[in-house]
């Protein structure tokens, strides 16, 4: 049985990431904060990749315009490949 999924606000995530860079034992810090170490590592990775945009509002990563364009192009490519596969079978 799965537990209730916790939601953490941006300030908590940011402070946890900052503390993780100050301390040597991330597992111990995660335990103190009441979160899994893997979650803290994910937040660190997101912070390294997106900086201050890592933890906006509802927890969704804010993409740069270039990243949004990549997502859009990947979606269009997937649609075109699906259409091609359908036409091949016809």
CATH value at residue 14 = 1.10.10
Q: Classify residue 39 by burial, with Cβ atoms within 10 Å: 0-12, 13-18, 19+.
A: middle
Domain that holds residue 79: 63-90
Total of domains in the chain: 2
pTM of the model: 0.59
**Is residue 71 a part of any domain in this protein?**
yes
Q: Write b or e for each residue in 43-60: b if 16 or more Cβ atoms lie within 10 A of its Cβ, otherwise e.
A: bbebbeebeeebbeeeee
Q: What is the pLDDT of residue 1?
A: 46
pLDDT grade for 10, boundaries at 50, 70 and 90: confident
pLDDT tens-digit series, residues 16-36: 999 999 999 999 999 999 999
28 and 68 together in one domain:
no
53 and 69 together in one domain:
no
**Is residue 70 a part of any domain in this protein?**
yes
**Is residue 2 a part of any domain in this protein?**
no
Q: Over 70: is that where the pLDDT of 5 sits? A: no
Q: Over 50: is that where the pLDDT of 60 sits? A: yes
18 and 47 together in one domain:
yes
Q: How far are the Cα atoms of 9, 48, 55, 56 from residue 19, in angstroms, in the given order?
A: 16, 14, 16, 19
């Amino acid at each position: 049985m799965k537990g209730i999924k916790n939601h953490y606000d941006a300030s908590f995530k940011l402070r946890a990431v900052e503390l993780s860079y100050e301390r040597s034992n991330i597992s111990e810090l995660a335990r103190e904060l009441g979160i899994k170490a893997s979650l803290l590592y994910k937040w660190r990775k997101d912070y390294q990749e997106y900086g201050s945009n890592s933890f906006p509002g509802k927890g969704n990563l804010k993409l740069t315009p270039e990243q949004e364009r990549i997502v859009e192009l990947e979606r269009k490519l997937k649609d075109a490949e699906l259409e091609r596969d359908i036409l091949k079978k016809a």
